[in-house]
């Protein structure tokens, strides 16, 4: 699955134990009438996918939906869902560094060459 949105929150990496680390982030999906703030999780070597990405950048997040069952010591069964991101791509839009193809102002008054100006 994938979704595109704006990076709202970028949390620090958390080392849970010597064999497991995770990093959470939130993107805002504005594709409907009400913005949705969606929490994702990166694990292990995928935690580095957020390096160089800033809050406000527009991202496309590829993720898997994970669900698990947990039984409390009192015997109560609970269910949890996780959106586990495995790929992040920057998308063109607000917050990204984009380069323009506009002609610099100091060169804008130079006329474009005409067909008669060509040497052949």
Report helix, strand or coil for 115. helix
Structural domains present in the chain: 2-95 (2.40.50.140)
Report pTM.
0.71
The pLDDT tens digits for 88-118 are 999 875 544 333 334 444 444 555 555 555 5
Spatial distance between the Cα atoms of 6 and 90, rounded to a whole number of angstroms: 10
Supply 90's token pair.
């920057």
- What pLDDT sits at residue 118? 52
| pLDDT > 60? residue 68 | yes
SS3 per residue for 44-68: HHHHHHHCCCCCCCEEEEEEEEEEE
């Amino acid at each position: 699955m994938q979704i595109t949105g704006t990076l709202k929150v970028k949390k620090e990496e958390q080392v849970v134990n010597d064999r497991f680390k995770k990093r959470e982030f939130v993107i805002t999906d504005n594709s409907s009438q009400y913005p949705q703030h969606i929490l994702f999780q990166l694990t292990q070597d995928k935690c580095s996918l957020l390096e160089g990405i800033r809050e406000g950048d527009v991202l496309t997040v590829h993720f898997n939906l994970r669900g698990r069952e947990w039984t409390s010591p009192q015997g109560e069964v609970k269910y949890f869902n996780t959106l586990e991101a495995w790929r992040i791509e920057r998308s063109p839009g607000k917050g990204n560094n984009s380069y323009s193809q506009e002609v610099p102002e100091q060169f804008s008054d130079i006329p474009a060459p005409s067909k008669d100006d060509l040497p052949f």
